[in-house]
Structure 1
Amino acid sequence: MTAQISTLGELLSAAGTQWRVYDIGRRITKIDKQQFAQIEAAQVPYPFPLAGHALIAIQFWDNQATVDPYVWFLKLPLDEQSKLIVASRDHFASMVLEALGTELTGEQADGKLDNNPYVFTPNANKLAAFNALLKRELNRPASQYYEYSELYFAGKLPQDAWQSMAVQGIADFAFRLDHGQNNANLQKSWPSLPLEVKQPLSAMLEHIEVSTVFSEQLQSAIKTSIEQKNLSELICNLRAISGSKAQGLIAQSVDLVLNSDYRFEADILLTLAGRCWEVFVDSERLFKFLDCAANNQQVDGLFASIFADLVAIPTLRPHVLAILRAENRSDELSRAIGRLFS
């Protein structure tokens, strides 16, 4: 890297672009520039690590040259304390400078970073959600698929019309719940939606702060799906509520699950760790959750992967490490912890 450019933020600014950064690994979350500068300087840990990496989306645009913003989806390695490995960031930036100089936008930039080792492609649900979010933030019209989805959720299309719905249309609907009757229509239609719609829709809703009223509805649906032993519905309800501002309702919902017959179920444990991690700052709840993970008999190594996932999250790290020293552990939890170090 050059003496003048030592961070990605400086590279983007030197290119004359405006830019924004988002975490795209766990929940699509905007990272403000001051925090990103601290992350780049390895002064603070990355707040949302996933599998030892920061998965970030950098959106940038040149007001003079382009209409649509460019996006880099980057997978940058983190150290054991979830701090950015600066050498990898430097390597990526030097590759950008070599390929593009500081001309990051325009036709000459197209395809130049396709084989870059730090560039990745998010899955279809994440891409659709991110695209829907950007259109909202830039005050652009939704995709061509949005209107059909809006009609479907309003109950104005036949029940089997979901087969013609695009994932992008579902994402656009989810990110425009404040438009017209969309929020009311979502609440009305949620209980009767086919699983084929509810699954992709819940994958979008987990990135959104759904309303408290809908969160209450989802909590009730979580209780019902436990009682009716409907695992697929339960996972959808948990994903849909996980981005809610109503943290108390999420915590109560997680407690319902941890007291249910599903508490040892691998898919449930992974959903809770991946989507509802904030509620595990409560040490008692975390203790119970890890005990459930230790008792899982379905997936080999599940406890180790969940432990590694949670201990990497800065807000949870001290709570997770404290359990290593806890004295009142069950035999299963003690054995599972012992295997981490064997």
Structure 2
Amino acid sequence: MTAHISTLGDLLNTAGTQWRVYDMGRKITKIDKALFNQLENGQVPYPYPLAGHALIAIQFWDNQATADPYVWFLKMPLDEQSKLVLASRDHFANMVLEALGTELTGEQADGKLDNNPYVFTPNANKLAAFNALLKTELKRPASQYYEFTEQFFAGNLTDDAWQSIAVQGLADFAFRLDHGQNNANLTKVWTSLPQEVQQPLSAMLEHVEINTQLAELFFTQCEQAIAENNLNLLINNMRALSGSKAQGLKSQLVEQVLASELGNQPDVLLTLAGRYWLCFEKPEALFKLLDLAVNNEQMPELFPSIFADLVAIPSLRPHVLGILRAENRSDTLSRAIGRLFS
């Protein structure tokens, strides 16, 4: 890169843009500029690694912007300490400079980075959720699908109207729960929603900080799912609850799930590892999760997958590595760990 542009932040600032950064790998999470600057300078590890990469969205616009902002979805490699591989960052920035110079917005920028090796496309659910989030943050109207969805949850449409709900409408509704009666309406109808609505809506709610009433509803539904051995009901409500700030409630749920028959299901263990990782700073919960994963006969690759996922998360890394020295681990877990390092 040039002498004056040493980071992506420098590039965006030099181009005269306003910009924001979000993690797109786990829960869609805003990354403040001070942290992003530390990440770009290799001072701290990336907090939300996924499969050895940082999946980030950079939203930017010029100061005179009247149209929607531009977004780069970037998949940047991380090293073994989950720090950004700076050579890859430099490579991407140089490709941007060669293609666009510092004119990052306007018609000349359209399509110029389509084949860039660091650019990725999030799945449909993540794209819908991110679009809904941006609309609320920029105080812009929701998509054309929102009003129909809002009317459905208000009970103003026919029972079969759910078949016409769009994924983007569900995303807009999830990110506008504090509008009007949306929170109350969702609380009223959640338990009666068909799986075809509840499942994609739960995928949106995991990116939203829900209120206490909804958190308690989802927790109660998880308990019911455990009692009924209902896998789909448990997964939906675990996902819907995962974005809540009620850490105590979530830790209580993790404990109950791991002690249940459904705790043996690969999808349940993957949901826990992928969305409840903060709960595994407690050694007992971490031990139980890894024991269940290593003894899972349905998916032999489950244990190495979950181990690799959790050990890469900076806040969890010391706890996961601590298990390598723990004397009270099971023989099965000890042998599985040994195979990882053989």
Same fold (TM over 0.5): yes
Per the alignment, residue 71 of structure 1 pairs with 71
Question: How much does 1:126 deviate?
Answer: 0.1
Unmatched runs of 5 consecutive residues or more in structure 2: none
Matches within 5 A, 1:1-342: 1-342=1-342
Report if the CA contact (8 A) 1:65-1:106 is conserved. no
CA distance in structure 1 between the aligned counterparts of 2:338 and 2:109, rounded to whole angstroms: 51
Give the 3 Å change call, closer, same or farther, for CA 241–65 of structure 1 in structure 2.
closer
RMSD of aligned alpha carbons: 0.8
Greater mean alpha carbon deviation, residues 210-219 or residues 233-242: 210-219
Pair 1:265–1:111, CA change in 2 (3 A): same
> How far 1:262 moved relative to its partner?
1.2
The CA distance in 2 between the partners of 1:121 and 1:243, in whole Å, is: 23
* 1:16-49: CA deviation from partner (whole Å, max 9, x where unpaired): 0000000010000000000000000010000000
Q: Is the 8 A contact 1:66 1:106 kept in 2?
A: no
- The aligned amino acid for 1:270 is L
Deviates more, 1:304-313 or 1:283-292: 283-292
TM-score of the two chains, using structure 1 as the length reference = 0.99
Distance across 1 between alignment mates of 2:65 and 2:217:
47
Q: CA shift at 1:233, angstroms? A: 1.0
Structure 1: segments with no counterpart, 5+ residues:
none
Counterpart-to-counterpart distance in 1, 2:281 and 2:65: 46
Contact 1:125 1:167 in 2 (8 A): yes
Alpha-carbon displacement from aligned partner over 1:149-190 (angstroms, at most 9, x marks no partner): 101111211222111110000000000000000001111111
- Cα deviation, residue 284, structure 1: 1.4
Which of 329-338 and 168-177 deviates more? 329-338
Aligned counterparts of 2:216 and 2:104: Cα–Cα separation in 1: 46
Quote how far apart the aligned CAs of 1:300 are: 2.1
CA distance in 2, matches of 1:81, 1:66: 41
Residues 248-276 of structure 1: CA deviation (Å, up to 9, x unaligned): 11111111100100112100000000111
Moved more, 154-163 or 123-132: 154-163
Give the SS at the match of 1:189. Answer: helix
Residue pair 1:58, 1:73 contacting (<8 A) in 2 also: yes
Counterpart contact for 1:23–1:57, Cα < 8 Å: yes
Cα distance, 1:65 vs. partner?
A: 4.6
Instruction: Read off the aligned partner of 1:15 and give its amino acid letter.
Output: A
In the aligned structure 2, how far is the partner of 1:131 from the partner of 1:277? 25
Equivalent-residue separation in structure 2 for 1:289 and 1:212 (angstroms): 27
Render the CA deviation track for 1:121-148: whole Å, top value 9, x for unaligned.
0000000000000000000000000001
User: What secondary structure is seen at the aligned counterpart in 2 of 1:280?
Assistant: helix
- CA deviations on 1:283-323 (whole Å, 9 max, x unpaired) are 11111111111111111211001000000000000000001
**Counterparts of 1:232 and 1:160, CA distance in 2:** 21
**Cα deviation code 1:217-260 (max 9, x no counterpart):** 11110010111111011000000000101001111111110010
Q: Greater CA deviation, 193-202 or 155-164?
A: 155-164
User: Secondary structure of 1:324's partner?
Assistant: coil
1:63 CA displacement: 2.1
Q: Identity of counterpart residues, as a percentage?
A: 74
C-alpha offsets along residues 31-74 of structure 1, whole Å, 9 cap, x if unaligned? 00000000000100000000000000000001225421000000
- CA–CA distance in 2 between the matches of 1:195 and 1:37? 42
Is the deviation greater in 54-63 or in 150-159?
A: 150-159
Aligned partners of 1:128 and 1:167 also within 8 Å = yes
- Counterpart of 1:272 in structure 2: which amino acid? L
Counterparts of 1:316 and 1:197 in 2: how far apart (Å)? 34
> In structure 2, how many angstroms separate the alpha carbons of the residues matched to 1:295 and 1:263?
11
Secondary structure at the aligned position of 2:209 is classed as coil
